[in-house]
Structure 1
């Protein structure tokens, strides 16, 4: 059964009640919470593999960075750390066996519209929700069919228009989910988003990695991309195997000429791209398996 922990005092330096575990079917947010009505909030998803959380601290750091980009009150990372650990511990305790993959989603919203308007800093809502994730071992081994879709803006929009919040992990995920539904309707499993001028961005829930010979690259985060926590762990694993890793601009044409393309995230880890827009790509199962094993063993 899923586990829900409600943060009693999610804002740094502000008093509040202790965090508490509640029934996951219990309503905890007001109908006027700006996270629900406007997508005004941030979140992170922590992967739990074989009973161990991975990259918790980078996720907490990114939660704080995203909140700062939205001009939200600074979150109390200690409160969120405890809530995540509690939710994961209770989830695993309630299961007959340790699942291969689980997750804990942590959410931080601006709170109700009234509180945000009347109280300095508002009254933000924070919670951690843990649950088992479906088995994705086949996707990690065999790869997934992917299509490219335009994100609708040119490279560099993050610097040109910071109010678009490129690089923040916000609750405004409707476009990302619409892209995944579109991919499914076309027989694909995932999407690589691109700019209008032909550069690679990221997947709706993953980072893109591209290998040419002994070099593994990911699109430069200066373009306004989310700095992937699993991508950093994957870079460590590739470098341990003698590859050179770097952040740089990647064109769509470089995807089809690559020796390998992967999607990586904290929950599903490293998944090879098997086809891109219907074109078969090489899948290196041995290298993928070795990098995934390194990522699992590193934490």
Structure 2
């Protein structure tokens, strides 16, 4: 077992979070079990977080802030803690994503990460068989916060139709995911188009990519391979990507027709059906 006295608060945001939680709990003259009772968790969980053996969630952090009267310190710190749970090669992209004023993406395989439900994200991330699945899911959901800030980025998404038909997580997960995409129509800053199978060959058969734009900084293009991701501000690459994306948007269904297709697939492929194994029927 990790001895909390051996923690170095400067070692990582998680270690700093744990050491501060312990310090403030002891200042309040509360045992771990006492604080756990106040925030509706076990004393064991408090101990695991204090020893940096478990990653806190945003909900936990908000409850701790209320219980210890920290002025929102843990709610601010947890974002950094969760960001550090992302793969090292992805953290730089996440930082840039959070600063972007415009995000454009073409996704050939899965729903864009910022629009994934928790259950869908869990199924996608589980496919890589990680040891820290809960932490990765929490980190992905934390990224969604940029869509709810006072001045959110414009997000334009083109999804290959294959994304709608690939039954990730089973029927219920997919039905809820597609319903979530339809619900995004209420957000004027998020637009979703579907590139239909009928488009045939198209401008990005090579795969998915993201373009990020900023106020006062060069545009970036981001791509991934099986092991890592790559960002570039090379003007030629950015220009080529912009051209390809324009062709994708032109070949895709309109936002309205895309919503109609999503709704049709949701009902026809993932509608409620009786059967002992709904995942197998999806």
Q: TM-score range by the shorter chain?
A: under 0.3
Which structure has the higher relative contact order (CA within 8 Å, separation 6+)? Answer: 1
TM-score by structure 1 length?
0.27
Q: Say which one has the larger Rg.
A: 2
TM-score by structure 2 length?
0.28
Q: Which has the higher helix share?
A: 2
Q: Which has the higher strand share?
A: 1
